[in-house]
Amino acid sequence: MRPFAWVETSAEIRELYSHDWTEDLRFLPDAVALPSTVEELQQTLAYAYEHDIPIVPAGGRTGLSGGMLPVKGGWVISMEKLNRILHIDTQNLYAVVQTGVITQHLQEAVEAVGLFYPPDPSSRGSCTIGGNIAHNAGGVRAVKYGTTREYVLGLEAFLPDGRPIRTGAATLKNSTGYNLTQLLVGSEGTLAVIHTAILKLLPRPQYVRTLLLGFPDARSAVEAVVAILQNGILPTAIEFMERDAVLFGEAYLGEKLYPGTEKFGGLLLVEVDGNHLESLESDCFRIEEIAMERGAMQSWFAQTAEERERLWRLRRSLGIAVKSSGPYKEEDTVVPRTVLPELLDYVKALGRRYGFRSVCYGHVGDGNLHVNILRENLSEKVWREEVPQAVEELFRFVISKGGAISGEHGIGWVQRRYMPLQFSSEEIELMRQLKRVFDPKNLLNPGKLLPD
């Protein structure tokens, strides 16, 4: 039962690795492997393969689709000790890192040498590069800089039986064979266990400017997003928070955004970055002007780094603030930006029809709206049977508008039943066969991503 020193079987440790941030779900693993070296990882995999033990790779366990839940038992392999930044190439602008590195640690390490790693999930202080790759994490800067996928140049991984593979190269472009790199990005630990990544870096922008805009209602806030982006301005971030989301965040942190923000039904947090301060400031004023034309009633410019930090702290806290308020489901809808107002209306109408309250916020600059459905006083029957029906309606709406059911959280365990809404049976069968190519024994994160 404990073939290696780095495999833990105590009840405490198993409990700790039985959940991520997804709802209140818990699945106990039989054991938890904590390899400290790539060799230990490989040995773990080879052993598990031989003994038909299901394996679930885990990062920071901050996922919101249940991607690391050991739903079929077996072993969780935590990558947390494979957390070395192996190399930062300041001339060619890439980093080589082990996938257990905490995202914020990498951000800080590269910023210290004048570089920039843009992907920036709200959970950056806890999530890992490996988890980000597994789910193609987005975060607040995706409007301008894209998602994790656009920064992954190459990978080193093990197939389920422990055989090593390498993909890509340390180059900005590559047309050499099938793109295994991009097939592994977003594959949620179901195809291979990725232990090392070559990540593209950018020069660090010298200046950042941040402003908050208050709109009378949520709808007018998201309506302004398209207008801002149609003026040739490309902000780093355009984040939306409806009033309830702000109230949850403020209560959770015990601090206020700005005096008076509670008057506004919807807020946009907008950030621009670059090397020319004057351009940024003129962009900010233009954004403010457009927002005012679209109904914004107040704006606040962050005057200091501390003030900016406070805005982002609040924005980043929303997920955990809603979670700490009680049971909820978080849907990760993404649509073309012009659909956002209609999507918001649709969510609220669904809530009225099914009797739930929702709290919405998200990365609206790239059309990504997080819809949090609160359990509150809903009966077990409504929660278990009717709310999933509402989610299905929501997803059908999203897909009918050219959108997708997950923008950045992945499918994991909780969304897989909805995959047939997005994909035909041919497409799902193709995915199943791809899975089989990499993992013929179905030992790697079984029960995830694909429907039964």
Positions in 155-214 near a copy of itself (CB under 8 A)? 159, 163-180, 182-183, 185-187, 191, 202-204, 206
The first and second tokens of residue 227, run together, are: 């207008």
CB 30, min distance to a copy of itself, A: 27
Structure tokens at 143: 């409007």
Asked if 403 touches a copy of itself (CB under 8 A), the answer is yes
Q: Where are the alpha helices (DSSP H) in 36-120?
A: 38-50, 103-111
Q: What is the bridge-based pairing of β-strands 31-33 and 75-78? A: parallel
Choice from 422, 439, 443, 445 touching a copy of itself (CB under 8 A): 422
- Please report whether residue 114 would count as binding a copy of itself according to CB under 8 A: yes
Which residue of 20, 23, 408, 439 would you call a contact of a copy of itself, by CB under 8 A? 408
Q: Which of 276, 313, 353, 384 binds a copy of itself (CB under 8 A)?
A: 276
Tell which residue, 351, 347, 386, 388, has the closest CA to residue 370: 347
Q: In the complex with a copy of itself, which residue's Cβ is closer, 10 or 90?
A: 90
Helix (H) or strand (E) holding 228: helix 218-229
At closest approach, how far in Å is the CB of 404 from a copy of itself?
4
Site for a copy of itself in 299-358 (CB under 8 A): 332, 334-338
94 touches a copy of itself (CB under 8 A): yes
* 433 in contact with a copy of itself (CB under 8 A): yes
**For residues 36 and 43, which CB has a smaller minimum distance to a copy of itself in the complex?**
43
Contacts of 373 (CB under 8 A, 6+ apart): 328, 329, 330, 331, 351, 356, 357, 358, 387, 390, 391
Q: Which is nearer to a copy of itself, 41 or 191 (CB)?
A: 191
Say whether residue 449 binds a copy of itself (CB under 8 A). yes
> Per 3-state DSSP, what percentage of the chain is helix, strand, and coil (rounded to 5)?
40, 25, 40
Q: At a CB cut-off of 8 Å and minimum separation 6, what does 357 contact?
A: 244, 351, 373, 374, 376
Residue 269 touches a copy of itself, criterion: CB under 8 A: no
Least Å from the CB of residue 333 to a copy of itself: 10
367 binds a copy of itself (CB under 8 A): yes
**From candidates 24, 52, 89, 385, binder to a copy of itself by CB under 8 A:** 89
Site residues (CB under 8 A) for a copy of itself, limited to 218-247: 226, 229-234
The count of chain residues that interact with a copy of itself, using the rule CB under 8 A, is: 94
CB burial readout 195-226, b (16+ within 10 A) else e = bbbbbbbeebbeeebbbbbbbeebbbbbbbbb
